[in-house]
Chain A
Amino acid sequence: MARSKFLGTKINPSRFHKSQIKYLLILSPLVAFMALPLIYIFNVAFKPLEELFFYPPTFIVQRFTMSNFVRLFSVTGASGIPMSRYLFNSIIVTVLVLFFSVLISTMAGYALSKLNFKGKKLMNEINTVALMFVGIAVMIPRYLIVEKLGLIDNFFVHVLPYLAIPVGLFLVKQFIDQIPDELLDAARIDGARELQIYTKIILPLIRPAIATIVILSFQSVWNSADTSTVYINNDNLKTFAFYMNTLTSGTNGVAGQGMAAAASLIMFVPNFVIFLVMQSKVMDTMAHSGIK
């Protein structure tokens, strides 16, 4: 009796069973709440202008058009800078952040997990405390430091603040902890240097953790308008997220909605695609995410 009950309610079942229907029923309104706003923005983005003025407003687009995107790309900011410039800036910034944040957190994660050095314990503890760090709380001291370093209106100020991600380092370190020391010792006996161990053994083995940092960094940098708002005065150097903010906070009119929706779709879709491609790797990393 107990056993049959257990089988009917298994976690991670391989087949469908009627006992799962009740879960689907509980889940569906919640999933709808999560999904409907996104479906809605998708529809607004592809609505032609006259459809945006429909009263009452319609949910689903009737005549599919790209005109919002065309208008978005042809419109130029207040200072005469084309939207493509902002998009270009964002892409460069994002690529730089992804590359360097992966590099420095995997390097540090390797040392923290597998090498011995004085201060290692302290650094691990500081990083665990830093998981609780809320970046926007220190926006003012950060601004003062950036100013002192002469980085105001410097393109790299978009990149540098996003390179050290405590959560990323934490996840990478936990992941590297799973790699057996014997494997590395064997390589050392064969004459491998630490740098070779890092590039030839560690990096290939921790691809899931790398995928996870890529996603975390991508989200924080691609979506952030803060660096443009706070550190950059030169409009040529601002990013797409900033441009989108000006677009959405400036216009409350119905006509602006279509363009704003198109812009937020451009913000959303790359996030989504990257996660879609890497989701199984992320789940792999998350299995080792626990704080012990």
Chain B
Amino acid sequence: MMMSKPKRLRSASQIKQQRIAYGFVFPYVLMFSVFILVPVLVAIFLSFTYFDTVRSPSWVGFENYIYLFTNDEIFMQKVLANTLKYAVIVGPGSYILSFVLAWILAQLTPRLRTVLALIIYSPSLTGGITMAVLWRIIFAGDSSGYLNSILLRFGMIVEPIVFLQSQEFLLLIMVIVTLWSSMGVGFLAILAGILNVNQEMYEAGYIDGIKNKFQEIIYITIPLIRPQMLFGAVMAIVGTFASAGIGVALSGSNPTPQYAGQLIVNHIEYYGFFKYEMGYAAALSVVLLLFVYLISRFAFRLFGSKD
């Protein structure tokens, strides 16, 4: 983090400035505490309890976690496997795609670039979940579905495929829809980063013997935009998990058909709001948050400044 070293407070005016500073940060700190910090702490606490919302929580130690990793067959066989598959494809996929698209866009003239960037960015404006209706029309399971009708017309299938209820296709469609809507702020950050690289750096690079575009990317572009690469990575990781409700939105049910698109987020919702097992749901939340945090730490290792 970049910041000035806090100076030792000496004069009355500095003490006054400190008081004013607290006034400035107070509203944010309050809202942050109530809706982000305290919920995380409550989740950690509840994860060690049994809580059905009627009686007060009773302490059960690590029981929820033990159940989660040893007895919850749906979690181990379906939810975890789906989440890993989904995250491994969507996370790095959207990240690599946003770099590639941003880099290519940077090779074009400004006016053309602005138009194309706007098109690429616009699906992320509303996100996959809000646009689920669109995808439900495209992937509709009868011959009125757009994709089905195309496949039928070209004789590639004999009868319509019920895509959104199918064990084979649901996860794949979720990945496609999420990738479609994932070129968001991370993509813009990387694009802005690439555009702001000083031209002279490239010139110097070519004099020093860089021979092609690939070397240019590896030795000049990526090292120089490392801070933006890190921001983009964090956004890609968070975006991957935040959009994980998409399976339920597409298939219209929780749990998704045969748990085909069930991800941790849906599992939390299912245990919390349908089964009222809040303690167990909280343990799932903690696992998810840890998951996101650890992957992000990895990104920090990769791109963070070495200090």
Residues of A at under 8 Å CB distance from B? 2-3, 5-6, 9-16, 20, 23-24, 26-27, 30-31, 33-35, 37-38, 40-41, 44, 53, 55-57, 59, 103-105, 107-108, 110-112, 115-118, 120-121, 123-145, 149, 160-161, 163-164, 166-167, 169, 177, 194-195, 198, 216, 219, 223, 230, 241, 244, 247-249, 252, 254, 257, 260-261, 263-264, 267-268, 271-272, 275-276, 279, 282-284, 286-287, 289-292
B65 in contact (CB, < 8 A): no
Q: In the complex, how many angstroms separate the beta carbon of A34 from the nearest chain B beta carbon? A: 5
Alpha-carbon distance between A58 and B101 when the two chains are bound, in angstroms = 30
Give the top 9 A-B pairs by smallest Cβ distance, nearest first.
A290-B227, A108-B28, A111-B24, A286-B192, A141-B42, A271-B125, A117-B21, A248-B133, A164-B31
- The A interface, classified by DSSP as helix, strand, loop or mixed, is helix
Alpha-carbon distance between A27 and B107 when the two chains are bound, in angstroms = 11
User: In the complex, are the beta carbons of A216 and B185 less than 8 A apart?
Assistant: yes
Closest A residue to B241 using CB positions: A134
Q: Tally B residues with Cβ within 8 Å of A.
A: 122
Alpha-carbon distance between A33 and B177 when the two chains are bound, in angstroms = 11
User: In the complex, are the beta carbons of B244 and A131 less than 8 A apart?
Assistant: no
User: In the complex, are the beta carbons of A169 and B125 less than 8 A apart?
Assistant: no
Q: Count the A-B residue pairs with Cβ separation under 8 angstroms: how many? A: 341
Q: Given A23-B107, A164-B35: A132 and B278 within 8 A (CB)?
A: no
User: In the complex, are the beta carbons of B185 and A260 less than 8 A apart?
Assistant: no
Residues of B at under 8 Å CB distance from A? 1-4, 6-7, 9, 14, 17-18, 20-22, 24-25, 27-29, 31-32, 34-40, 42-43, 46, 53, 101, 104-110, 114, 116, 118-123, 125-127, 129-138, 140, 143-146, 149-150, 152-153, 180, 183, 185, 188-189, 191-197, 199, 202-203, 206-207, 213, 216, 225-228, 230-231, 234-235, 237-238, 241-242, 244-245, 249, 252, 265, 268-269, 272-273, 278, 281-282, 285, 288-289, 292-293, 296, 300, 303-305
Alpha-carbon distance between A24 and B101 when the two chains are bound, in angstroms = 11
Alpha-carbon distance between A5 and B1 when the two chains are bound, in angstroms = 38
Q: B residues within 8 A CB of A126? A: 37
Contacting residue for A107 out of B27, B38, B242, B305, CB 8 A? B27
Alpha-carbon distance between A162 and B79 when the two chains are bound, in angstroms = 29
Q: A residues within 8 A CB of B25? A: 107-108, 111-112, 117, 123
Alpha-carbon distance between A261 and B133 when the two chains are bound, in angstroms = 7
Alpha-carbon distance between A234 and B213 when the two chains are bound, in angstroms = 59
Q: B residues within 8 A CB of A135? A: 36, 242
Q: In the complex, how many angstroms separate the beta carbon of B177 from the nearest chain A beta carbon? A: 9
Closest A residue to B141 using CB positions: A252
Q: Given A11-B194, A13-B107: A291 and B304 within 8 A (CB)?
A: yes
Alpha-carbon distance between A257 and B303 when the two chains are bound, in angstroms = 45
Pairs across A and B, CB under 8 Å, 18 listed: A6-B206, A11-B199, A14-B109, A31-B119, A34-B119, A41-B133, A41-B137, A107-B28, A111-B21, A123-B29, A127-B32, A133-B40, A141-B40, A142-B35, A194-B20, A275-B118, A283-B195, A291-B300
Contacting residue for A108 out of B24, B46, B140, CB 8 A? B24
Q: In the complex, how many angstroms separate the beta carbon of A169 from the nearest chain B beta carbon? A: 6
Q: B residues within 8 A CB of A143? A: 272
Q: In the complex, how many angstroms separate the beta carbon of B137 from the nearest chain A beta carbon? A: 5
Q: B residues within 8 A CB of A110? A: 24
Contacting residue for A138 out of B40, B230, B252, CB 8 A? B40
Closest B residue to A33 using CB positions: B180
Q: B residues within 8 A CB of A287? A: 192-193, 195-196
User: In the complex, are the beta carbons of B108 and A23 less than 8 A apart?
Assistant: yes
Q: A residues within 8 A CB of B116? A: 27, 31
Contacting residue for A290 out of B3, B123, B226, CB 8 A? B226
User: In the complex, are the beta carbons of B228 and A290 less than 8 A apart?
Assistant: yes
Q: A residues within 8 A CB of B197? A: 11
